[in-house]
Structure 1
Amino acid sequence: MSRRGSIDVDGDVVLDQESPNGDVREGFWARLALNFSGFVEKWFPDAFVFALIAVAVAAVAALIMGAPATAVADSFSTGFWDLIPFTMQMALVVVTGYVVATSPPASKLIDRLAAVPRTGRTAISFIATISLATSLVNWGFGLVFAGLLAKAVGRREDIKVDYRAAGAAAYLGIGGIWALGISSSAAQLQANPDSLPPDLIAITGVIPFRETIFLWQSLVLAAIILVASVTIAFLSAPGERNAVSARDLGVDLAEKTSTRRVRERPGDWLEFSPLLTIVVALLVAGWLFREFMTGDPIVVISNLNTYNLLFLALGMLLHWRPRSFLDAVSNAVPATAGILIQFPFYAGIAAILTRAQSEDGDSLAHLISEGFVNLSTPGTFALVIGIYSATLGFFIPSGGGKWIIEAPYVMDASNAMESHLGWTVQIYNAAEALPNLINPFWMLPLLGILGLRARHLVGFTFVQFLVHLPLVLGLLWFFAGTLDYHPPVQP
């Protein structure tokens, strides 16, 4: 007997009994996603509550380890503000990505792309492909662009698309291969000696992109993950009978009628003139030209500040007039709320893991890593480090920040076991993305765009996690055997 998704008075998804002939049934992956979605939608807490739970777990673990309560409290409180600059950078990634993606030219492109799929399931796989491909260039833009594409597809009346599955597909770039692309925080840091602490440079040396994201093993890994993710997105997407639309979820996707302002006084003239936009764009273009001519283009474009400035200028140009640009920024800001409030809590967690020490001088992060490294051998090192990176990433969902914490002892172990240093970075990158599929933190900007909650997406991303976990860890272990060790190269 087939079943049709609907929403009860409490907002939970229920399944109505239909089609007594049993002629329409979901496949295994779709049933798994639907069943897990039902559980998550009922029991999964809000993302902020999840962050508070993570704080409690880290604090209790540190106390059990033997750290004094005062040390735990001090670590959390002082570390709470450590990621404020990074928080601002991440907020601007979302804002500038949103501004570019909502510009008139980008909106026209999104509308054209949204009209391509012919069925609900192909629409899900199409969104997944766009999300994965764009995340290799810039995870922030890819997340926003894919989210807006999911909204545009959700507005279509000619096909029935499960809006939850569409949102999960838009998220796959962050949960799949973003860290294997040029916006990889760990690869950027290792390629730029000016960004690395001196102690870490002594251990790892400088590792250029050709030894990390441009290794043929890394490119093949990214391609396999992309194909697997799109396939699972297609197979797990509910058919039309079980699809839950945005309307079913109470999400209004109707395009808002533009309240276009007009010039009412002489002082409004500059708001509607492209003159100042052109001036700013020329200044940024001149600076970028000099940076690209005098430095390594890959290193230049990999810097988050450069990314944000580039997308800021691009957004101003695409909107053309300051008034349109400012309206887009105002619409983007709500999507950053989760980042602004939760990043400090994750910084506090990182501080507990690394600063709260027992009487023996051990930190919780060091004890965890020491246990994993002691379990490994040269043949299992890639697998052990992959598991460790994925586990720690569940509590510290920050690619660059977590790498600074993890790299000293992981890369030191890599040297001791004579494991390829660049591949160790890629082990971290690929494994670090895995917990994103079940940790709602990086969903926050997307949820603000879609008008959904984390529990609406996690049922489908959990299915992806079940496939990604053995696939990614297995490939990391396999490819590690194809690479030889090279001693660190100092700058």
Structure 2
Amino acid sequence: MSLDLSVESLRPKSSRPAGEESGFARFAIVFTNWSERWYPDSFVFAALTVIGVAAALALGSKPLDIANAFGGGFWSIITFTMQMVMVVVTGFVVATSPPAARFIDWIARAPRTARGAVAFVAFVSMSASFLNWAFSMVLGGLLVQALARRGDLRMDYRAGAAAAYLGLGATWALGINSSAAQLQANPASLPKSISDITGVIPFTETIFLWQSMVMALIILIVSVLIAYFSAPSAATAKTAEDFGIDLTPRPSVTFGPSRPGEWLERTPFISLALAALGFGFIYNEFATKDPLLAISNLNTYNLLFLLIGLVLHWRLGSFLGAVSKAVPSTSGVLIQFPLYGAIALMLTGVKGADGFSISHHIANLFVSLSTQESFPVLMGVYSAVLGFLVPSGGGKWIIEAPYVMQAAKDLGTHMGWAVQVYNAAEAIPNLINPFWMLPLLGVLGLKARDIVGFTFIQFLLHIPLVLFLLWFFGRTLLPG
């Protein structure tokens, strides 16, 4: 029995004769339509995790202690929250700069076929995501538009959009801007509930493990191949024109006559002066510290991207315009991450009648169900399921780390690999969760239902691949 993966198989039943679609394609469409209609805002799922209150009460915790933990933890990770906001802003600013736009138009000339164009977008997006996931999405989206303007390709616009999303759905958490790895490497941002268990874990023990880098490379190659073979040919592609999307390039910022007070916004002098100060600091950081330690500092990382964006935009007016456009994409981070801090303290700081917290009992459950070899698989499945319910961009590590890492410590598994297990598994549900798609869909003028059929194929094949890699490479890090 063969599977029909053509674009026709992904169209709704109303546009095709009944019974013509494959079962696999029908299931993908049913899931996409259901998700678009019924899936609530991600904040609702984050808020529902306060059902931990019921668990705390069941353990005999006092209601006032639970409320105090909620209020006390709400602002406990405000530094980390703002760091994640800056990841989004700086990535957007760099990707939308005039030099980046010219670079995108240049590389868009490379693909020669419609399917090759989709695969090319996947490669570019996933490669960029190792540096910054927001940058990869915006860069991928603008590349899709540039390719769609090439009338000689007839690239499927939906497949291209899905490929642009793969940076966030496949590889970002294994790169430098991994929230969990960054948090673990920064003592200033690491909550006491985690640091007491793990201490500081440097990048050399997480994203720069050779096992992690090989796993990331395998996932990238496989994802590009899936994007290529699942993309419709030019003959059956549905283009941006078919969607009625205007791809006329937006004019760059122009500076005509203005009032004298606006002169400072239109001259590069202030931008260059600020950049010179910032790059002086960056130089000193890398000159006086181990480069891996310097780049693992999330504040330094964000400042570097911000300075690059400032220089690429050249004038303050252009730079500030890009920042303004980026801010709406940060709303989910701003409202959800403080809630994660509150929930984390309820799970770790509130004691039950037996003198132990909820996180202690969950850690014991992990230990009782796992062995050193099976822990990566069990934790990977758990993290992927929770990642679908609570799409956090790594923020839910604040909640999970205390009991997950305690279990890893009790089992004697490699602590850095436990972080990477979380990272690899947390990216998987992004492939079918519409929350993180929103910025990309806004750039491309599509809806989640238009691309989830393609990302769903990636999702189905990533699950067994990632879980196998986590188990296989985890075995190489076992003691003895």
TM-score bracket for this pair, using the shorter chain length: 0.7 to 0.9
Counterpart pick for 1:267 among 249, 261, 264: 261
1:163 is displaced (CA, Å) by 2.3
Cα distance in 2 for partners of 1:261, 1:391 equals 50
Question: Matches of residues 172-321 of structure 1 in structure 2 within 5 Å?
Answer: 172-197=166-191, 200-258=194-252, 260-321=254-315
Cα distance in 2 for partners of 1:163, 1:346 equals 36
Partner of 2:396: 402
Cα distance in 2 for partners of 1:202, 1:6 equals 50
Partner of 1:429: 423
Judging changes above 3 Å, is the alpha-carbon distance between structure 1 residues 266 and 351 closer, same or farther for their aligned structure 2 residues?
same
Cα distance in 1 for partners of 2:249, 2:38 equals 27
Partner of 1:111: 105
Counterpart pick for 2:123 among 116, 126, 129: 129
1:452 is displaced (CA, Å) by 2.9
CA deviation map 1:441-488 (0-9, x unaligned):
3323323322333333332222212111111111111122222439xx
Counterpart pick for 1:52 among 32, 44, 48: 44
Cα distance in 1 for partners of 2:375, 2:368 equals 10
2:114–2:156: 8 Å Cα contact kept in structure 1?
A: yes
Secondary structure of the 1:419 match is: coil
Secondary structure of the 1:176 match is: helix
1:369–1:388: 8 Å Cα contact kept in structure 2?
A: no
Cα distance in 1 for partners of 2:13, 2:236 equals 10
1:323 aligns with 2:317: yes
1:179–1:430: 8 Å Cα contact kept in structure 2?
A: yes
1:275 is displaced (CA, Å) by 0.9
Identity %: 54
Q: Aligned partner of 1:169: which letter? A: A
1:98 aligns with 2:89: no
1:128 is displaced (CA, Å) by 0.7
Partner of 1:152: 146
1:126 is displaced (CA, Å) by 0.7
Cα distance in 1 for partners of 2:390, 2:472 equals 27
1:66 is displaced (CA, Å) by 4.8
1:59–1:72: 8 Å Cα contact kept in structure 2?
A: no
Judging changes above 3 Å, is the alpha-carbon distance between structure 1 residues 125 and 34 closer, same or farther for their aligned structure 2 residues?
farther
1:306 is displaced (CA, Å) by 1.9
Greater Cα offset, 360-369 or 245-254: 360-369
Secondary structure of the 1:459 match is: helix
1:71 is displaced (CA, Å) by 7.8
Q: Aligned partner of 2:110: which letter? A: V
Q: Aligned partner of 1:463: which letter? A: I
Judging changes above 3 Å, is the alpha-carbon distance between structure 1 residues 439 and 273 closer, same or farther for their aligned structure 2 residues?
same
Partner of 2:375: 381
Partner of 1:468: 462
Cα distance in 2 for partners of 1:279, 1:186 equals 34
Q: Aligned partner of 1:102: which letter? A: T
1:3–1:15: 8 Å Cα contact kept in structure 2?
A: no
1:136 is displaced (CA, Å) by 1.4
1:230 is displaced (CA, Å) by 0.9
CA deviation map 1:282-337 (0-9, x unaligned):
11011111222222222222223222222222112111112222232233334334
Partner of 1:15: 15
Matched pairs, number:
472
Q: Aligned partner of 2:278: which letter? A: V
CA deviation map 1:340-398 (0-9, x unaligned):
45555666665676678766566665554443331112331222222222233334434
Give RMSD over aligned pairs.
Answer: 3.5
**Which residues of structure 1 form unaligned runs of 5+?**
18-24, 487-491
Cα distance in 1 for partners of 2:439, 2:306 equals 17
Cα distance in 1 for partners of 2:117, 2:69 equals 47
CA deviation map 1:418-438 (0-9, x unaligned):
222222222222122222222
Secondary structure of the 2:177 match is: coil
Judging changes above 3 Å, is the alpha-carbon distance between structure 1 residues 269 and 191 closer, same or farther for their aligned structure 2 residues?
closer
1:5–1:15: 8 Å Cα contact kept in structure 2?
A: no
TM normalised by structure 1 equals 0.83
Judging changes above 3 Å, is the alpha-carbon distance between structure 1 residues 249 and 94 closer, same or farther for their aligned structure 2 residues?
farther
2:9–2:25: 8 Å Cα contact kept in structure 1?
A: no
2:70–2:343: 8 Å Cα contact kept in structure 1?
A: yes
1:43 is displaced (CA, Å) by 4.5
1:427–1:476: 8 Å Cα contact kept in structure 2?
A: yes
CA deviation map 1:242-283 (0-9, x unaligned):
433334445433222456231323223222211111110111
**Which residues of structure 2 form unaligned runs of 5+?**
none
1:211 is displaced (CA, Å) by 2.7
Question: Matches of residues 78-97 of structure 1 in structure 2 within 5 Å?
Answer: 84-97=78-91
Q: Aligned partner of 1:429: which letter? A: N
Judging changes above 3 Å, is the alpha-carbon distance between structure 1 residues 6 and 176 closer, same or farther for their aligned structure 2 residues?
closer
Counterpart pick for 2:406 among 403, 406, 412: 412
TM normalised by structure 2 equals 0.85
1:92 is displaced (CA, Å) by 2.5
Cα distance in 2 for partners of 1:222, 1:280 equals 36
